[in-house]
A and B are shown apart, each in its own frame.
Chain A
């Protein structure tokens, strides 16, 4: 038996259901790992030790009684702190929600539990999921397990660091513009954002409602398929959740896709040659070679409205990033209006006689700088006189971006590109410049605007010391999860790699 905390979720569930390990043993092993590494990594806002052990005992009792414990039997899973749980706190890493205890359960977490998962803790994040480094947390700074002087990415940085640090078997994150895939790339794990609406958003604290999507961060592609299968599906509580039946993502996961056509967007390759770090470029070239070796046809496609521009100072920009930040700040300004200091959350201690002052001071005292900036940007671009120039313009560009993808998918099955232009950056490196931080999502953002599924896979390492993980991103058409996951699994199984890589090699035994 290999070390419990290095096993994939699928193999751990098999071992627990088969009686080789108990759920309590597995939960305790992870609690011990958290105890040992949390001091360095700081991935968790709250560790739910007692609750997790209680859940584990219930799973063990079920197994002892001969009942089916579910496909995630006893697997310790960590949850991003913007998903409501009726135990512990749901803080969104904001001072506004420090003491908030959700009165209802998010659908995704309820489904994990029903499948036998043990919820081990709530993970750190950028406040209200606004950021790309988890440095916008009001709770603490999470560190990248590969190099603790670097960020884990964001906004699901705690969820990614917890998986990479073997402090949970898998985790849930949320992805509005890359917030699952980008930290997965920085931390060397698998991060999957399903099609918009594939997973119910009920109980996910809303940021950009037309972009937000819940998904798993895992050690293997099979785990991503397993967990997505559990959490996906229509939910009466979320009118935007898709009614389409959920396929069995595991059924053919090991079966290679035949006649696979991989699309390379010109704008992300030749057009962005100066945007990529040399190590990222080498890893992506190697990923393309892996697929070539597997017989895939490589075709050139074009995403003109996701084009990456490089200014004289080396700064990156794109229409998609501009479009995204108009749309997401507009949606955020509306969604975050609910934080009023009246219904729940922080209320100023000052005795005020005016309710507008009460709202304004409670919000001023408890919201972080980036959150304030985004609310204000959103209110600006939605306000009278600016609506057409900003918000309405962005919605039109959004359609152009989505149409580019639809056209590209006429000639390929899956689009391949980097997840990020560089590996993880240093803590503090980009905190003074919001625009530089926004560029970290330049390859992931269009996917959310178009509502597509996207996955980031470990694709090698940089030459930094210590070495840093690099991610490759695969993007598929709407509701192509099955094909996309199979394509990802082909890469994971056959990746051309250097012999020095050891840490992330988690064999799937299931």
Chain B
């Protein structure tokens, strides 16, 4: 039997991930994520003392570009796929309170 992570932890990760979860989903994900995490634990068998972490396989450093203006998207192009728009703004529910 593989390990399961508890419902509170699943909900916490759901919140970090900005994904709303139903109760049935919490149960299934707890089981599935638990199984994968157990698989991840396999790496603990390896001694990595003193090994430098490798974030990129081809380690390019200091990639610089000239600081010049280049063509980019127009506001209309950038907003063309917006689900809700007001002139040149993306629309979202009110974030700040009444007293600003």
Please tell me if A360 contacts chain B, counting CB pairs below 8 Å: yes
| Contact among B35, B40, B58 for A322, CB-based, below 8 A | B40
With A210-B57, A240-B60 already in contact, the answer to whether A360 and B20 are too (CB < 8 A) is yes
Tell me which residues across on chain A come within 8 A of B17, comparing CB atoms: 333, 363, 372, 375-376, 379
Instruction: Determine if B57 and A393 form an interchain contact, defined as CB atoms under 8 angstroms apart.
Output: no
Instruction: Determine if B19 and A377 form an interchain contact, defined as CB atoms under 8 angstroms apart.
Output: no
Please tell me if B95 contacts chain A, counting CB pairs below 8 Å: yes
| Contact among B16, B45, B53, B90 for A395, CB-based, below 8 A | B53
Q: How many residues of B sit at the interface, in one of the four size bands?
A: 35 or more
Instruction: Give complex CA distance A375, B29 in Å.
Output: 12
Tell me which residues across on chain A come within 8 A of B82, comparing CB atoms: 342-344
Tell me which residues across on chain B come within 8 A of A104, comparing CB atoms: 73, 77
Instruction: Determine if B77 and A103 form an interchain contact, defined as CB atoms under 8 angstroms apart.
Output: yes
Instruction: Give complex CA distance A210, B84 in Å.
Output: 33
Instruction: Determine if A364 and B83 form an interchain contact, defined as CB atoms under 8 angstroms apart.
Output: no
Instruction: Give complex CA distance A333, B81 in Å.
Output: 22
Instruction: Determine if A322 and B39 form an interchain contact, defined as CB atoms under 8 angstroms apart.
Output: yes
Instruction: Determine if B43 and A375 form an interchain contact, defined as CB atoms under 8 angstroms apart.
Output: no
Instruction: Determine if B51 and A342 form an interchain contact, defined as CB atoms under 8 angstroms apart.
Output: no
Instruction: Determine if B93 and A354 form an interchain contact, defined as CB atoms under 8 angstroms apart.
Output: yes
What are the interface flags for B22-54 relative to A under an 8 Å C-beta threshold, 1 for contact and 0 otherwise? 000000010011011101101111101001111
With A210-B56, A355-B92 already in contact, the answer to whether A361 and B40 are too (CB < 8 A) is no
Tell me which residues across on chain A come within 8 A of B84, comparing CB atoms: 347
A186 to chain B, nearest CB (A): 24
Instruction: Determine if A372 and B54 form an interchain contact, defined as CB atoms under 8 angstroms apart.
Output: no
Instruction: Determine if B43 and A356 form an interchain contact, defined as CB atoms under 8 angstroms apart.
Output: no
Tell me which residues across on chain A come within 8 A of B83, comparing CB atoms: 341-342, 344-347
What are the interface flags for A97-125 relative to B under an 8 Å C-beta threshold, 1 for contact and 0 otherwise? 00111011000000000000000000000
Instruction: Determine if B52 and A396 form an interchain contact, defined as CB atoms under 8 angstroms apart.
Output: yes
Interface of B is mostly: loop
List CB contacts (< 8 Å) of B55-77 with chain A: 55-58, 60, 63, 65, 73, 77
Instruction: Determine if B20 and A402 form an interchain contact, defined as CB atoms under 8 angstroms apart.
Output: no
With A319-B46, A325-B39 already in contact, the answer to whether A103 and B55 are too (CB < 8 A) is no
B59 to chain A, nearest CB (A): 9
| Contact among B32, B40, B90, B93 for A343, CB-based, below 8 A | B90
Instruction: Determine if B18 and A360 form an interchain contact, defined as CB atoms under 8 angstroms apart.
Output: yes
A residues with CB within 8 A of B:
99-101, 103-104, 195-197, 210, 236, 239-240, 242, 305, 317, 319, 321-323, 325-326, 333, 337, 340-347, 352-361, 363-364, 367, 372-373, 375-377, 379-381, 383, 389-390, 392-400, 402, 434-435, 448-452, 478
B residues with CB within 8 A of A:
10, 13-21, 29, 32-33, 35-37, 39-40, 42-46, 48, 51-58, 60, 63, 65, 73, 77-78, 80-84, 90, 92-95
Nearest first, the 10 closest Cβ-Cβ pairs linking A and B are A451-B57, A344-B81, A395-B53, A347-B83, A396-B48, A399-B54, A364-B20, A396-B51, A103-B77, A360-B20
> Could you list 8 examples of A-B contacts with CB < 8 Å?
A239-B63, A317-B42, A325-B39, A342-B92, A344-B83, A347-B83, A363-B20, A377-B36
Q: Please give 5 more A-B residue pairs, beta carbons under 8 A apart, in addition to A210-B55, A333-B17, A355-B92.
A: A103-B81, A322-B39, A325-B36, A355-B93, A450-B57
